[in-house]
Amino acid sequence: MGDQEVKLLGLWASPFSKRAEIALKMKGISYEFVAQDLSNKSPELLKYNPVHKKVPVLLHNGKPICESVVIIEYIDETWKSGPSILPEDPYARSLARFWAKFIDDKCLPAIWKVRKSEEGEREKAIEEATEHLVTLETELKGKKFFGGDEIGLVDITANFIALWLVVVQELVGIKLVTREKFPRLCEWIDDYLNNSVIKETLPTQEELVNRFRAK
């Protein structure tokens, strides 16, 4: 598969874009990263993701795949090199899809709301985010990663929690996730960020804080 063209239209500071990059790197796929400017969308982005006009877009031999979780499943089904990102067993796969969806539908909007909320609404936003994080804390009991012994779909989807959440905490000046309240989630963050592929792919906390402060 050496003559295949793999391009990723992405953004270095986007957790969604980074999901696609992590999946490609886990599989050992070479790809060209084409940085996008969302304040001035490229003809390529508008052509290949006309519905949402958002990153990431994976281009595989010219064919576009959009939506980060859809991209991860595509990568896992297309390249059999490297570790499996979703488990083989249909029941285990359904659980992985369930939790990935939970993170996207519940955790991310709640955490984002903490950042965007005005003083008066912040307490409610924190309460909601905490409730979802407690659910994840429970899910991690007895496991190293959400995927079990190895990083899988849910861990990649949760990269927002491993890094961007910490950035949100710093920007807003609060501490949602403490070792006291969330011992498993904190261990997971450590293990996740220490993984060689993740370390190589994600930006540093400082880079992200600077980027979001500048906006």
Q: Are 156 and 22 in contact (CB under 8 A)?
A: yes
Phi, psi of 177 (to 5 degrees): -105, 105
Residue type, 30: S
Q: Round the CA-based radius of gyration of the chain to a whole number and report it.
A: 17
Identify which of residues 77 and 190 has a Cβ nearer to its own copies in the complex: 77
Identify which of residues 30 and 94 has a Cβ nearer to its own copies in the complex: 94
Question: H or E stretch including 152?
Answer: none
Beta carbon of residue 4, minimum distance to its own copies (angstroms, whole number): 13
Q: Token pair 């390529």 is at which residue?
A: 44
Q: According to CB under 8 A, which one of 2, 39, 91, 180 is a site residue for its own copies?
A: 91
d(CA 88, CA 16): 24
State the DSSP code for 148. Answer: B
130-189 binders of its own copies (CB under 8 A): 135
Other C-beta atoms closer than 10 Å to the C-beta of 90 total 8
HSE value, Cβ hemisphere, 13 Å, CA-based, for 101: 6
Stretch that binds its own copies, among 13-21, 97-105, 115-123, 196-204 (CB under 8 A): 97-105
Site for its own copies contains 97 (CB under 8 A): yes
Identify which of residues 21 and 67 has a Cβ nearer to its own copies in the complex: 67
Beta carbon of residue 101, minimum distance to its own copies (angstroms, whole number): 6
CA 121 centroid distance within chain: 26
Beta carbon of residue 156, minimum distance to its own copies (angstroms, whole number): 16
Q: According to CB under 8 A, which one of 40, 51, 194, 196 is a site residue for its own copies?
A: 51
Stretch that binds its own copies, among 3-11, 22-30, 73-81, 201-209 (CB under 8 A): 73-81
Beta carbon of residue 52, minimum distance to its own copies (angstroms, whole number): 8
d(CA 33, CA 8): 5
Identify which of residues 139 and 191 has a Cβ nearer to its own copies in the complex: 139
Q: According to CB under 8 A, which one of 71, 108, 165, 176 is a site residue for its own copies?
A: 71
Angle at 54 between CA 49 and CA 59, to 5 degrees: 50
The dihedral built from the CA positions of residue 57, 165, 192 and 201, taken in this order, carries a sign that is: positive
Beta carbon of residue 178, minimum distance to its own copies (angstroms, whole number): 23
Instruction: Give me the residues that bind its own copies (CB under 8 A), please.
Output: 51, 60, 63, 65-67, 70-71, 73-74, 77-78, 90-91, 93-94, 97-98, 101-102, 135
